[in-house]
């Protein structure tokens, strides 16, 4: 598996989501020179079930999840990868790539997202979006415009508004590392459940952050979903260094959590290997 690596730069003029310019090309008329892409993997077997995919990593996120293991991609001094370089790579891999995953970070924070998806679709690739669901209007727009074939939405924690401390922090804010508009999460969930696009929901189960109450509450909101995955926590390189010493749930503990979830979402399963 080949990866396009990025290097630190010290250019304070970089803005994550600005499309810089359009350059004529004999292939389609434009090549998009877009800043905001901080990583690219040209072949992956694990980012889209049953699909050989390439993966584009957008370099900004509107959350600060303490267990995030991709946080280094969001550093402001990372040199962006221009889309035309990725386009060239995809053309050379066209025969064996089924689709392209756009992940992050949070792709819906980038105004260039529809342009990237449109270009990928024009090249004949299926497209998958990984999202945290905080921008339901963007999600609806790209689905409405036929720019996306599959959506994977992370549901971080219980959507209960009951605070977990005397500062009024919700369970969701604790998992996300920042305040979250829960109504936006609910809107994205409700939209996906209508079936306008193929989808899955997923929750990373992090001991000390996501437990029995969370997974059962989440599952009750997702009742009727046709795909929901519990994902084991990976402590390596977690943003919060204290979590790097936290033992992930065992297979037996994950099985108990799954039993709670299946009361509401019978097709739910575990994706990945426990600690």
* Res 143: pLDDT: 96
Same domain, 218 and 150: no
Q: pLDDT tens for residues 119-144?
A: 999 999 999 999 999 999 999 999 99
Of 95, 122, 154, the domain-final residue = 154
Same domain, 3 and 133: yes
Q: pLDDT tens for residues 40-54?
A: 888 888 878 888 999
* Res 33: pLDDT: 53
Same domain, 124 and 64: yes
Beta strand segments in 122-256, E: 126-131, 150-154, 198-205, 228-232
* Res 93: pLDDT: 86
Mean per-residue pLDDT over the chain, rounded: 85
Q: pLDDT tens for residues 185-242?
A: 999 999 999 999 999 999 999 999 999 999 999 999 999 999 999 999 999 889 999 9
| pLDDT at position 252 over 60 | yes
Looking at the 3D structure of the chain, how many domains does it have?
Answer: 2
* Burial group, residue 144, by CB count within 10 angstroms (0-12, 13-18, 19+): exposed
Q: Give the residue numbers spanning the domain of 272.
A: 158-195+202-275
Of 123, 154, 185, the domain-final residue = 154
Comparison of pLDDT for 12 and 237, the residue scoring more: 237
Q: How many residues does the chain have?
A: 275
Paired tokens of 239: 């943003």
Same domain, 191 and 126: no
Sheet with 99-103: strands ordered across: 3-4, 37-44, 53-58, 99-103, 126-131, 150-154, 198-205, 228-232, 269-270
Same domain, 103 and 187: no
* Res 11: pLDDT: 31
| pLDDT at position 30 over 50 | no
**CA Rg value for the chain:** 19
Q: What is the pTM of this model?
A: 0.86
Comparison of pLDDT for 258 and 14, the residue scoring more: 258
* Res 127: pLDDT: 96
Helix 136-144, helix 113-122: angle, nearest 10: 20
Same domain, 88 and 103: yes
Q: pLDDT tens for residues 46-102?
A: 878 888 999 999 988 899 999 998 877 777 777 888 888 899 999 988 888 899 999
| pLDDT at position 13 over 50 | no
The CATH number of the domain holding residue 5 is 3.20.20.70
Same domain, 144 and 8: yes
Same domain, 3 and 117: yes
Same domain, 85 and 149: yes
Please give the distance of CA 41 from its chain centroid, rounded to a whole number: 15
pLDDT band at 34 (very low <50, low <70, confident <90, very high): low
* Res 251: pLDDT: 95
pLDDT band at 21 (very low <50, low <70, confident <90, very high): very low
Same domain, 136 and 187: no
Same domain, 144 and 163: no
Same domain, 41 and 148: yes
* Res 16: pLDDT: 32
| pLDDT at position 5 over 70 | no
d(CA 271, CA 196): 24
* Res 28: pLDDT: 40
């Amino acid at each position: 598996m080949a990866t396009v690596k990025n290097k630190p730069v010290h250019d304070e003029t970089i803005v994550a989501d600005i499309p810089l310019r359009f350059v004529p090309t004999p292939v389609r008329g434009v090549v998009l020179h877009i800043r905001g892409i901080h990583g690219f993997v040209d072949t992956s077997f694990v980012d889209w079930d049953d699909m050989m995919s390439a993966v584009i990593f957008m370099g900004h996120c509107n959350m600060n999840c303490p267990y995030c293991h991709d946080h280094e991609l969001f550093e402001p001094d990372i040199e962006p990868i221009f889309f035309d370089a990725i386009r060239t790579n995809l053309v050379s891999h066209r025969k064996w790539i089924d689709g392209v995953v756009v992940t992050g970070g949070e792709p819906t924070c980038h105004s260039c997202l529809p342009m990237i998806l449109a270009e990928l679709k024009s090249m004949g690739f299926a497209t998958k979006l990984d999202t945290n669901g905080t921008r339901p209007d963007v999600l609806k727009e790209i689905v409405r415009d036929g720019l996306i074939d599959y959506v994977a939405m992370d549901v971080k924690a219980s959507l209960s508004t009951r605070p977990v401390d005397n500062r009024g922090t919700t369970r969701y804010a604790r998992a996300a590392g920042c305040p979250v508009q829960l109504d936006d999460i609910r809107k994205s969930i409700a939209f996906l459940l209508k079936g306008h696009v193929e989808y899955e929901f997923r929750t990373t189960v992090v001991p000390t952050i996501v437990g029995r109450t969370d997974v059962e509450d989440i599952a009750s909101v997702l009742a009727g979903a046709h795909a929901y995955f519990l994902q084991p926590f990976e402590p390596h390189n977690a943003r919060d260094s204290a979590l790097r010493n936290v033992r992930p749930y065992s297979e037996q503990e994950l099985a108990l959590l799954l039993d709670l979830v299946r009361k509401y979402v019978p097709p739910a399963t575990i994706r990945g290997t426990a600690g």
